[in-house]
Amino acid sequence: MTTAAAIIIGNEILTGKYRDENGPWLAVELRRLGVDLVRILTIPDEVDVIADAVRECTGLADCVFTSGGVGPTHDDVTFEGVAKGLGVPIVRNRGMAQAIRDKMGDDFTDDALRMADLPEGTVLHGSGIPVFVCQGVVILPGVPRYFKAKFAEYAPMLEGVPVQSRSIRCAARETTIASTLRAAAERWPQVDIGSYPRFEATPPHVIITVDSRDPSSLEQAHQWLQAQLGVES
């Protein structure tokens, strides 16, 4: 079973100029694939901050996705940050450099080669713009259309185990059902029980989610909660 972390890189997100689409989209996709997303770090375009985030996330998860900072401009420092975090030098990838020259033709400038200066040991997956993978760090572009397309190319490499989920809608206050939920959480430790009040709904209610990779525990917990809470299935 694979675990994942995401590093969303970009001053534009932290300054509110752009709303990050990639983190929320990745959360949904990883869930569907049965990969547990354990952290999302949203950080500025700074080499040392990226390096620290890479060290933290590679220690937490099997697979780390980065979003953004892979273009040719001065604020694109993801490759440098990942290299520093992994303790490897930046080396020019000759195949990538040639592909950039071929693709750009007359538009070619030396700045374009920044996209061929990769952390040592980086493996390129896929065609066109590749997915860059170095020691479990999967480096993806920040533009959502490309982020999604490149993730889709990489996704078959992930070994997920889907989580099964049930939900219960309960017309009660959280304070009156808290002890029941806690008892279920203690009785079925393999089951993750979430409680989400909808104060603003009419009438107000609570959505209880019951998730597990163990089908038997899931059904037991779900049925017990329905009975205790007086909710019909």
Q: Cβ of residue 164: shortest distance to a second copy, in angstroms?
A: 12
In the complex, which residues of this chain contact a second copy (CB under 8 A)? 11-20, 23-24, 27-32, 36-44, 71-75, 104, 107-109, 111-112, 114, 143, 145-146, 163, 173-179, 181-182, 185, 192-197, 199-200, 209, 211
Q: How far is the CB of 226 from a second copy (least distance, A)?
A: 17
Query: In degrees to the nearest 10, what's the CA dihedral of 67, 71, 75, 81?
Result: 60
3-state secondary structure of 45: coil
Of 27 and 88, nearer to a second copy (C-beta) is 27
Phi-psi category of 80—alpha, beta or left, where left has phi over 0 and alpha has psi -120 to 50? alpha
In whole angstroms, the minimum distance from the beta carbon of 137 to a second copy comes to 18
User: Measured from the CB atom, is 71 or 136 closer to a second copy?
Assistant: 71
Nearest to 66 by CA among 150, 148, 146, 141: 141
Rounded Cα gap, residues 39 and 227, in angstroms: 34
Q: How far is the CB of 32 from a second copy (least distance, A)?
A: 8
Q: What is the DSSP letter of 130?
A: P
